[in-house]
């Protein structure tokens, strides 16, 4: 089990969740992927397909999101994508309004300096942001 998975499970347990096989396998699946995944993709993954049903995975994802361990991405009328939140690291995303494809932006985040300024001026702790850009991808143009 990787350090990221262990740290994430510890964060979940510290927030009151029980460590179950489904919880561990879902965290490991999310940690292994470098891209956001849909509920269907997660349920069909080799770790989860024979372990639990779609409702269980969805309930866990909702709890993970409530606990700040998972970020939900996507357009409201399309399938939601889920990505593991790693303390100290984040990604900003491009979301196609036509096909719903989501990809991480491979460029420096323009908001970090603003985040630092806001932290200094307001005294907020544990400040973070989530940035999503919407448009039509080259495949849909």
% residues pLDDT > 90 (the chain): 62
Is 1-87 CATH 3.40.50.800? Answer: no
**In the CATH hierarchy, which top-level class contains the domain 90-141?**
alpha beta
Has residue 24 got a pLDDT over 90? yes
| Mean pLDDT of the region 10-23 | 95
Q: Where are the domains of the chain?
A: 1-87, 90-141
Has residue 117 got a pLDDT over 70? yes
* Per-residue pLDDT, 77: 67
Q: What is the mean pLDDT of the chain?
A: 90
| Mean pLDDT of the region 104-111 | 86
Structure confidence at residue 13 as a pLDDT band (50, 70, 90): very high
Tokens of 120: 């200094």
Q: Say how far apart CA 19 and CA 12 lie, in whole Å.
A: 8
Q: Say how far apart CA 103 and CA 101 lie, in whole Å.
A: 7
Contact between 71 and 104 under an 8 Å Cβ cutoff? The reply is no
Contact between 131 and 109 under an 8 Å Cβ cutoff? The reply is yes
Burial of 61 (0-12, 13-18, 19+ CB in 10 A): buried
* Per-residue pLDDT, 66: 94
* Per-residue pLDDT, 76: 66
pLDDT for 66-105, tens place per residue?
999 999 987 766 778 999 988 878 888 999 988 888 888 8
| Mean pLDDT of the region 51-73 | 94
């Amino acid at each position: 089990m990787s350090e990221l998975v262990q740290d994430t499970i510890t964060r979940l347990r510290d927030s009151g969740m029980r460590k179950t096989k489904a919880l561990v396998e879902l965290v490991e699946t999310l940690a292994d992927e470098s891209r956001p995944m849909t509920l269907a993709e997660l349920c069909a993954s080799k770790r989860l397909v024979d372990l639990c049903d779609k409702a269980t995975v969805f309930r866990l994802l909702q709890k993970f999101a409530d606990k700040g361990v998972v970020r939900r991405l996507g357009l409201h009328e399309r399938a939601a994508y889920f990505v593991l939140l790693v303390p100290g690291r984040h990604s900003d995303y491009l979301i196609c309004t036509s096909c719903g494809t989501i990809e991480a932006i491979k460029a420096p985040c323009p908001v970090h300096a603003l985040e630092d300024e806001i932290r200094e001026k307001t005294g907020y702790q544990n400040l973070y942001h989530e940035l999503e850009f919407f448009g039509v991808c080259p495949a849909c143009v």
